[in-house]
């Protein structure tokens, strides 16, 4: 990647292929306080600087040639952005492609427009911001169902866009950015539609999706062996095999996770009502502070089974179940040992358990 950009940014290349010339420029008030702007490539180790230009009279410009669109990043030194590597920068994605692209600022957000891939990226970010703002408003007004419907509609749009753009770099970028919102099989199928030369870049994401498939409904549970607050090891298998248990909810959470704690009232309600009918919860905490974990359990009346290896986000069960965010849960049918539902949050949990045990 670095070699490619060095070539395309050279004066000789720019002089030889006028039809493949690109320009990325920015000017005006948003750049008045900036010192310089850098163009970066990204790999698994982080960012690599490709080129850097000074901001002169509130403006900057990158020029070069490229045979095909490539994703890069622009980092701008600015006084109002959090520090990164000792300097204050705003980093935004940009597609290096033939044409004239302009960096501008709208609604406190930088964007790049003027070329096909960058226009697609700007349109996506605009739509994403609209959905985030509207979702926040709906949550604040207590309209949870409408918020979920809005986000589901947006996700359908994203999946369609990934499919429609599978042959170009925007589709690959969008899949990488949004893949955690896809089902494992959707991720695998989407990667398969990318150009062959791009697919190896998604090997890790594909491997995670394949592992995640092993915890989809219909698959057997993966055993967990961790200790409770008293230091006694309690396996998930032993809980599932306990006489009288019909359904066990494997609940991944942490005391520092606000959304997790927001789920506690639903867990308490469901456990209180259905524990006597065969419903059990096997809580797995991603805390690294034992005291914070045990205090949260006590203070919130989380009286069901609780275990942790107290390794925080490096909890072994997180890796086994490929948990990328919490709260997350898996409902296991004790009679078959198979997962029958996942991510039963809010009212969905008592509704599902009522369906199974009432």
pLDDT beyond 90 at 51? no
Residues 6+ apart with CB under 8 A from 76: 31, 34, 37, 89, 90, 91, 92, 110
**Cβ(66)–Cβ(92) under 8 Å?**
no
The predicted structure's pLDDT at residue 29:
85
Residue ranges, CATH 3.40.30.10, the chain: 225-357
Nearest one of 244, 176, 237, 188 to 214, comparing CA atoms:
188
pLDDT beyond 80 at 271? yes
CATH of region 2-114, choose from 3.10.20.340, 2.60.120.260, 2.60.40.10, 1.10.10.10: 2.60.40.10
Residue ranges, CATH 2.60.40.10, the chain: 2-114
**Hey, how many other C-beta atoms are within 10 angstroms of the C-beta on 278?**
17
Question: Considering the domain 225-357 in this protein, what is its CATH number?
Answer: 3.40.30.10
Nearest one of 159, 188, 185 to 174, comparing CA atoms:
159
Question: Cα dihedral sign for 308, 314, 316, 319?
Answer: positive
pLDDT in tens, 130-174: 999 999 999 889 888 898 899 999 999 999 999 999 999 999 999
* Residue-averaged pLDDT of the chain: 89
184-192 and 169-178 helices cross at what angle (nearest 10)?
Answer: 160
Task: Name the pTM for this structure.
Answer: 0.70
pLDDT in tens, 80-121: 665 555 555 668 899 999 999 999 988 778 899 999 999 999
């Amino acid at each position: 990647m670095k070699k490619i950009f060095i070539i395309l940014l050279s004066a000789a290349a720019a002089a030889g292929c006028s039809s493949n010339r690109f320009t990325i420029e920015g000017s005006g008030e948003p750049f008045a306080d900036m010192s310089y702007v850098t163009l970066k490539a990204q790999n698994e180790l982080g960012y690599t600087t490709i080129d850097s230009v000074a901001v002169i009279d509130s403006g900057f410009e990158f020029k070069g040639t490229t045979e095909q669109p490539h994703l890069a990043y622009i980092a701008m030194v600015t006084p109002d952005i959090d520090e990164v590597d000792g300097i204050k920068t705003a980093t935004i994605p940009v597609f290096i492609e033939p044409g004239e692209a302009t960096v501008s600022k709208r609604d406190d957000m930088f964007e790049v427009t003027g070329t096909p891939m960058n226009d697609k990226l700007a349109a996506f970010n605009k739509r994403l911001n609209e959905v985030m703002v509207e979702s926040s408003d709906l949550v604040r007004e207590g309209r949870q169902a409408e918020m979920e419907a809005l986000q589901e509609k947006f996700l359908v749009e994203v999946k369609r866009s990934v499919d429609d753009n599978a042959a170009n770099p925007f589709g690959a970028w969008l899949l990488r950015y949004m893949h955690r919102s896809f089902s494992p099989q959707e991720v695998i199928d989407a990667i398969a539609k990318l150009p062959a030369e791009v697919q190896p870049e998604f090997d890790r994401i594909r491997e995670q999706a394949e592992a995640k498939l092993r915890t989809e409904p219909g698959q057997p549970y993966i055993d967990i062996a961790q200790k409770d607050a008293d230091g006694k090891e309690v396996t998930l298998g032993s809980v599932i095999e306990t006489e009288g248990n019909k359904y066990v909810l494997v609940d991944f959470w942490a005391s520092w996770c606000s959304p997790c704690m927001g789920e506690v009232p639903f867990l308490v309600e469901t456990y209180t009502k259905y524990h006597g009918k065969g419903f059990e919860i096997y809580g797995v905490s991603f805390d690294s502070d034992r005291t914070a974990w045990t205090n949260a359990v006590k203070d919130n009346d989380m009286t069901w089974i609780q275990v942790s290896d107290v390794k925080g986000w490096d909890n072994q069960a997180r890796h086994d179940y490929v948990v990328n965010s919490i709260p997350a849960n898996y409902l296991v049918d004790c009679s078959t040992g198979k997962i029958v539902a996942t991510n039963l949050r809010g009212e969905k949990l008592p509704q599902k358990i009522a369906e199974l045990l009432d």
